[in-house]
Amino acid sequence: MGRAVAIYLAEQGYYVYAGSRTPQKLFDVRSENLYPLELDITDPRSIEQAVSRIGTIDILVNNAGYGLVSTVEEVEEVEMFNQFNVNVFGVMRMCKAVIPKMRKQKSGIIINISSFLGKIGLPLLTFYNASKYAVEGITDSLRYELRDFNIRVHSIMPGFFDTNFARDNLVANPATFSEASPYARMVSTLAPVIIEQINNGNDTMEVAKLILEMIEDQRAPARQTAGDKSKKFIPMKRELSDEDFERRVRAYYGLKDG
């Protein structure tokens, strides 16, 4: 998703600094506007170095993230910490590093890539869900905090998108995925469906175009959905009671009682 956004914005004439732990992944892109940048959002020194290499920063897109797939009962301390270290503290560290520049120049736009799972829970994804609910909370609070400095803050809640997410960036807890797990039936019902839905998900260009729209529209809404699953489930969640919504999701994913 980050790659698609970076290339698209560069094509539109924006100067894009594309941060990742492996910036060489972008060396194949031929664009004078795109600068791959080494950045690990779990490391404050790496963030400081990356941000100090850039003069003015008008827009920050917080895209980096991965998904831990684990029950709460079986999770390891380090897995739990790492999920929040990247998906939540990483977002906060990046905001902390960039806000001073935006505040001084009295303008800026921060766009957080959350998920439709930032408003909707699913079993086995409790830690990912909690991290994305947190991103939604960060967005809501920062909108108040930064308004006086003319810094806009938004979130995008993608549904499932065809990226490397399921191939490279889903971290499975071994106990949860063992046949001996008390949750084995739920894992065998849900995990293949989620992976299949991600791999056959929407095209990342939709997110890239939405980000451009948000950047160019001063009155863009606080948050936007993107992709089929988000456009289906987020309005449904708003309309139904929590219990009725849960029944619909259980039926959709074949999560049976007993």
b (16+ CB within 10 A) / e for 126-154: bbbbbbbbbbbebbeebbeebeeeebbbb
Does 211 engage in binding with ligand NAP (CB under 6 A)?
no
Does 133 engage in binding with ligand NAP (CB under 6 A)?
no
Instruction: Report the distance separating Cα 46 and Cα 58, nearest Å.
Output: 20
Is the CB of 99 or the CB of 198 nearer to ligand NAP?
A: 198
Q: Say how far residue 150 (Cα) sits from the centre of its chain.
A: 24
Active site residue 133: no
Strand blocks (E) in 83-213:
108-113, 151-158, 170-172
> How buried is 41 (Cβ within 10 angstroms: 0-12 exposed, 13-18 middle, 19+ buried)?
buried
What is the helix (H) or strand (E) element at residue 225, kind and residue range? strand 223-226
Does 36 engage in binding with ligand NAP (CB under 6 A)?
no
Is the CB of 102 or the CB of 117 nearer to ligand NAP?
A: 117
Window of 75-83, 140-148, 165-173, 234-242 that interacts with ligand NAP by CB under 6 A: 165-173
Does 63 engage in binding with ligand NAP (CB under 6 A)?
yes
Shortest distance, position 73 Cβ to ligand NAP, whole Å? 23
How many of the other CB atoms lie within 10 Å of CB of 202?
19
Q: Among the options 128, 183, 252, 253, which is catalytic?
A: 128
Does 199 engage in binding with ligand NAP (CB under 6 A)?
no
Instruction: Report the distance separating Cα 231 and Cα 14, nearest Å.
Output: 28
Does 163 engage in binding with ligand NAP (CB under 6 A)?
yes
Shortest distance, position 64 Cβ to ligand NAP, whole Å? 3
Does 169 engage in binding with ligand NAP (CB under 6 A)?
yes
Does 200 engage in binding with ligand NAP (CB under 6 A)?
no
Does 20 engage in binding with ligand NAP (CB under 6 A)?
yes
- Measure the CA dihedral 121/123/125/131, to 10°: 30
Shortest distance, position 52 Cβ to ligand NAP, whole Å? 17
Does 64 engage in binding with ligand NAP (CB under 6 A)?
yes
Q: Are 5 and 112 in contact (CB under 8 A)?
A: no
Footprint on this chain of ligand NAP (rule: CB under 6 A): 1-2, 19-22, 25, 39-42, 63-66, 86, 90, 113, 115, 158, 160-161, 163-165, 168-169, 198, 201
Active site residue ranges: 128
